[in-house]
């Protein structure tokens, strides 16, 4: 295989950091994925389209997505309780997200992690944005940065 790819996988794949070698099944799966990416570049284009669509849609709803430029898009809520309230309402409406709170993120920076694939359709993504809008309205959510963080920042 390509030496650069092999070196990268050996030194950056978390599952391999403390392993002596890559399991054959994992190597075969990675090789198959790379072959698909070479033969079907439209998948990557579609993934970028979906990530850009969702980032723009979330920003249009007034949500803070940080500086994300990947298909894993954080929705920064700030408060742990609000994060769980939004997560629960989204889950009950059929949208799966991952809540992330301290200590995984800094206090006051709780977020929902959303993830998108090339196989998501525009219709599915539009529906997710509609559900987000409904949930945000239902719980009267407006993103407000944590006041204690703003006070600490202005004191510096």
pLDDT of residue 27: 87
pLDDT of residue 22: 76
pLDDT of residue 56: 96
CA distances, 12 to each of 19, 28, 29, 71 (Å) = 12, 17, 17, 19
pLDDT of residue 12: 78
Question: Rounded mean pLDDT of 98-108?
Answer: 93
State the pLDDT confidence band at 16, using cuts at 50, 70 and 90: low
Question: Rounded mean pLDDT of 97-122?
Answer: 95
pTM of this prediction? 0.75
Q: Is the pLDDT of residue 1 over 80?
A: no
pLDDT of residue 65: 95
pLDDT of residue 152: 38
Cα 50 to Cα 116: distance, rounded to the nearest angstrom = 7
Percent of the chain with pLDDT over 70: 87
> 42-151 belongs to which CATH class?
alpha beta
Top pLDDT among 134 and 148 is at 134
Between 3-7, 23-27, 148-152, the lowest mean confidence (pLDDT) is in 148-152
pLDDT of residue 148: 40
Residue extents of the structural domains in the chain = 3-39, 42-151
- Which token pair is 153? 């920042």
Report whether the peptide linkage leading into residue 37 is cis, meaning its omega lies within 30 degrees of zero: no
What would the pLDDT profile of 47-76 be if each residue is shown by its tens digit? Answer: 999 999 999 999 999 999 999 889 999 999
CA distances, 63 to each of 19, 42, 141 (Å) = 40, 29, 10
């Amino acid at each position: 295989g390509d030496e650069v790819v092999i070196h990268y996988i050996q030194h950056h794949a978390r599952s391999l950091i403390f392993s002596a070698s890559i399991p054959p099944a994992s190597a075969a799966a990675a090789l198959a994925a790379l072959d698909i990416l070479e033969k079907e570049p439209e998948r990557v284009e579609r993934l970028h389209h979906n990530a850009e669509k969702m980032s723009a849609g979330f920003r249009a709803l007034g949500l803070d997505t940080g500086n994300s430029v990947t298909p894993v898009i954080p929705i920064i809520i700030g408060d742990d309780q609000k994060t769980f309230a939004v997560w629960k309402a989204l889950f009950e409406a059929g949208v799966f997200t991952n809540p992330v709170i301290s200590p995984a993120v800094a206090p006051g920076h709780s977020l929902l992690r959303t993830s998108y694939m090339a196989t998501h359709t525009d219709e599915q993504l539009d529906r997710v944005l509609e559900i987000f809008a409904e949930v945000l309205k239902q719980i009267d959510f407006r993103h407000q940065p944590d006041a204690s963080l703003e006070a600490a920042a202005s004191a510096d």
